[in-house]
Amino acid sequence: QQQVKQSPQSLIVQKGGISIINCAYENTAFDYFPWYQQFPGKGPALLIAIRPDVSEKKEGRFTISFNKSAKQFSLHIMDSQPGDSATYFCAASRPNSGNTPLVFGKGTRLSVIA
Amino acid sequence: EPEVTQTPSHQVTQMGQEVILRCVPISNHLYFYWYRQILGQKVEFLVSFYNNEISEKSEIFDDQFSVERPDGSNFTLKIRSTKLEDSAMYFCASSSGRRTEAFFGQGTRLTVV
């Protein structure tokens, strides 16, 4: 129940295309859903995050869509660029009296080709 | 821009040896974490730390692991007797509040031989 399932494992997108990565969760107590971007040899960096009180959040070319009833959320990268080539992780955390850990998906390796 | 810094970037150690991984969290942050990532796999939570004590730990964080904040700036992860399966990238992270963004360091690659 603590898992976050992410798909696809890898994705190849043409430059200018839309990249879509999907995640699903079981634990309805999760209330924070961030997406992290990781370049080789670097730590994960927060890209965009959403809470379940909204169904969509957009920041520049990056959009999170959130479906609370289906317990799913997705990342859309519009006008994908070669510089977006990285591994993307979805994550979730639950509210708690203390600092709560992030539960990560297995990651999606995105390659944007010219 | 403030950042979490980790040292060393790469550590090679013999099986059974003790290692200490070091982290300097962002200066005004209060919540600290260690995560690890086995090559090609997902990032896994190890432990969270607040107010000089462990807040939460995962099943991975057994008696071989310990954390410490020895002074006002450093946050360390100690593995007492390393095993081959401890080989991974270890990430330190920090956040300013319970429900704010966690910032990750660049990681320490631990190789146990």
* CA angle in degrees (0–180, nearest 5) for B20-B22-B23: 155
Calculate how close chain B gets to A56, using CA atoms only, in Å.
Answer: 19
Q: Flag if A105 and B42 touch (Cβ within 8 Å).
A: yes
For residue A35, the chain B residue with the least C-alpha distance is B101
What is the band of A1 on the pLDDT scale with cuts at 50, 70, 90?
A: low
Which of A41, A42, A101 has its CB closest to that of B45?
A101
pLDDT tier for residue A64 given thresholds of 50, 70 and 90: very high
Record: contact A104-B43, CB cut-off 8 A: yes
The tens digit of pLDDT for each residue in B1-59 reads: 779 999 999 999 999 999 999 999 999 899 999 999 998 888 999 999 998 999 899 99
Q: Using the predicted structure, report yes or no on whether residue B102 has a pLDDT greater than 90.
A: no
Segment A75-101 shows an average pLDDT of 87
The Cα-based distances of A66 to A23, A53, B54 in angstroms read: 10, 9, 32
Question: Which of the residue ranges A3-7, A35-39, A66-70, B97-101 would you say has the lowest mean pLDDT?
Answer: B97-101
Closest partner residue to A99 among B31, B105, B107, by Cβ?
B31
CA distance linking residue A90 with residue A106, whole number of Å: 8
Determine the pLDDT at residue A96: 61
The CA distance from B50 to the nearest CA of chain A, in Å, is: 8
Site of tokens 């004590």: B53
Predicted local distance difference test score (pLDDT) of residue B98: 65
CB distance A105 to B41 below 8 Å = no
Give the pLDDT confidence of B59-94 residue by residue, as tens digits: 999 999 999 998 878 999 999 999 999 999 999 999
CATH code given to domain B5-96: 2.60.40.10
Q: Do A101 and B107 touch (CB under 8 A)?
A: no
- Identify whether B8 is preceded by a cis peptide bond (ω within 30 of 0): yes
Mean of the per-residue pLDDT values for chain B? 93
pLDDT given for residue A97 in this prediction? 46
- Say how many CB pairs under 8 Å bridge A and B: 64
- Grouping H, G, I as helix, E, B as strand and the rest as coil, residue A71 is coil
Q: What confidence category does residue A98 fall into, taking pLDDT thresholds of 50, 70 and 90?
A: very low
Pick the residue from chain A with its C-alpha nearest to B29.
Answer: A99
Domains and CATH numbers, chain A: 4-113 (2.60.40.10)
pLDDT of residue B99: 66
